[in-house]
Structure 1
Amino acid sequence: MPAVTVQTHWIETPQGRLHAQTWTPAKAHPVPIILVHDSLGCVALWRDFPEQLAQASGHPVIAYDRLGFGRSDAHPGHLRPGFVEAEAGEGFAALLAQRTIGPFIVFGHSVGGGMAIACAATHGQRCRGVITESAQAFVEARTVDGIRAAEQQFAEPGQLQRLQRYHGDKAEWVLRAWIDNWLSADFANWHLDQPLAELRCPLLSLHGDQDEFGSLAHPRRLARLAAGSVQVQVLEGGGHVPHRQQPGWVLEAVVGFLRHSIS
């Protein structure tokens, strides 16, 4: 496999410093792929997927810890109901500015998929394509039920320590930010319809048909409402984290999308 160079970066924002990493293959394509993590995620929890993606695609891959997650600074308060769309003008915008990123491709997992769509819509003149994996397009009963089940699991002895390995003393905040927002009455009517209507670049939606946090109604809604061209690929038997469960399938889908849809 071709060598990949890994670099660590720090991004300054008014609320605190963000941690980021870049994986750059030899003879890299000039347009980077920016990864946006899920509700409990961070750079470290992508594991070796960024390196695999850089090797397979030939594009530099950038991942960053949103404020309050991973190695980034603690969040000074609580996430508000509009936090999904707000990321486009906050941490993501700071990353673009401070790393002097021009054209980009954005790849988001789970709630990060919704953020990726918002980022692509907000920065439409620079976004060449958006990839979502297990993205939620609205608040579905299946999503809420999955989160309630996860809340019970994290209440068991030792479970919070799993998050502390990656988020340190921010782990409790990370967990509550996920559960309390998605289960709140203020968030019950949230959806991605407006960013989808503003999306002009190509979209690839990846989704497992056994995803415990969202049915195939989500990629279907993305395909129906996105203003630009859309490809949907469904992983049979796939759960919520295809890039960990079936990385080869994800890489093949992404590389094919980049080859045929991204100029």
Structure 2
Amino acid sequence: MTVFWSNQLLDMGHGMMLSIRIGKHAQQNIQRPVLVLLHEALGCIAMWKDIPEQLAAETGCDVVVYERQGYGLSSEITLPRDDDYLVEEGEIWLPRLIDKLGLNRVILIGHSDGGSVALIGAATSASKVVGVITEAAHIYIDHLTTAGIKEAVERYQDTNLKDKLARYHGERTDLLFRAWHETWLRERKSPMNLRPWLPRIECPALIIQGQDDCYGVREQVTDICTGIGARAEPLFLPKCGHVPHFEARESLISAVVKFVDINS
């Protein structure tokens, strides 16, 4: 099964360019949706490693991976970020990306911040999103989220965490780390609450979290599923932390393949 990969910068308007990687099968199956991958708060295309290739091979779907503003080769961001930056990503930029690429049937696969954006995108683009899969998504900030981010700030200062991130983010490393922890830890005008978008999600949803995730309580999953309703299925992965696609890779890939097969 041959998949051709290409990289491009997509002009999103308003001076924003997004970096995109697209994998297309040599023999396109029009019955299969396109998988759109959304990275975490400190992620980028390269940090998915070979996950896009494996998903393309095992699902038979074309795959789109993109970097949100500020990440990778996409346009820069300025600080401070707005409290509702995830909403803007899901309501404006993700639907615009789908439209500009001419995608009519997509399954969104989002990790962490990307999972939250995917939920909002599924609610906003209901006519084009035929499924949504989240890993470690948040719809509010809980005590584990706060404690986990504070601990990461300490590691950034005292360990080689900054050097590890700099392999991917280069000169943007400090800016992106600040954008992450300052936005999530600061006092907000109103608490983060993405629940209002959940009832508007009309497609099937697979809501995944590692049982040992140190950034979110189990209720993140159960509350998301309650908000979406019968269309949502929870999946807790044992012996797995915040990054299921690496820490429980085969279980995660198997679940995605099954979901795609059922919802194509």
Name the counterpart of 1:144.
Answer: 146
Contact kept in structure 1, 2:80 and 2:183, CA below 8 Å = no
Structure 2, unaligned runs of 5 or more: none
User: Comparing 32-41 with 7-16, which one deviates more in the overlay?
Assistant: 7-16
Q: What runs of 5+ residues in structure 1 fail to find an aligned partner? A: none
CA RMSD of aligned residues (A): 1.6
Contact 1:134 1:214 in 2 (8 A): yes
The CA deviation at 1:111 is 1.2
Matched with 1:24 is 24
Partners of 2:63 and 2:238 lie apart in 1 by 27
The aligned residue for residue 236 of structure 2 is 234
Separation of aligned partners in 1, 2:251 and 2:78:
39
- Whether contact under 8 Å (1:15, 1:75) holds in the other structure is no
AA partner of residue 228 (structure 2): A
Match of 2:37 in 1: 35
- The residue aligned with 1:69 is 71
User: Aligned partners of 2:133 and 2:54: how far apart in 1?
Assistant: 16
Query: Given the alignment of the two structures, is residue 6 of structure 1 paired with residue 5 of structure 2, yes or no?
Result: yes
- Scaled by the length of structure 2, the TM-score of the pair is 0.93
- Describe how 1:1-263 pairs up with structure 2 within 5 A: 2-13=1-12, 14-30=14-30, 31-156=33-158, 158-186=160-188, 189-227=191-229, 229-260=231-262, 262-263=263-264
Distance 2:91 2:79 in 1: 17
CA distances 1:143-168 after superposition (whole Å, capped 9, x unpaired)? 11000000000112543232222122
Paired with 1:176 and 1:97, the residues of 2 have a C-alpha distance of 31
Can you list the C-alpha shifts for 1:155-213, whole angstroms capped at 9, x where unaligned? 12543232222122211111011101111111772122011121111100111100011
**Aligned to 1:186, what secondary structure does the other structure show?**
coil
Shift of 1:3: 2.6
Report deviation, 1:231. 1.2
| Cα pair distance change 1:33/1:212, threshold 3 Å | same
What is the DSSP-based 3-state SS (H/G/I as helix, E as strand, rest coil) of the residue aligned with 1:189? Answer: coil
- Structure 1 window deviating more from structure 2 (151-160 vs 127-136): it is 151-160
C-alpha spacing 1:15/1:179, structure 2 compared with 1 (3 Å) = farther
**CA-to-aligned-CA distance 1:228-247 (integer Å, 9 cap, x gap):** 50111111111100101121
When residues 186 and 22 of structure 1 are mapped into structure 2, their CA distance, relative to the original with a 3 A threshold, is: same
Distance 1:148 1:76 in 2: 22
Query: For structure 1, which segment, 157-166 or 201-210, has the greater mean C-alpha deviation from structure 2 after superposition?
Result: 157-166
The answer to whether the 8 Å contact 2:37/2:109 transfers is yes
With over 3 angstroms needed to count, the CA separation of the structure-2 counterparts of 1:38 and 1:122, relative to structure 1, is same
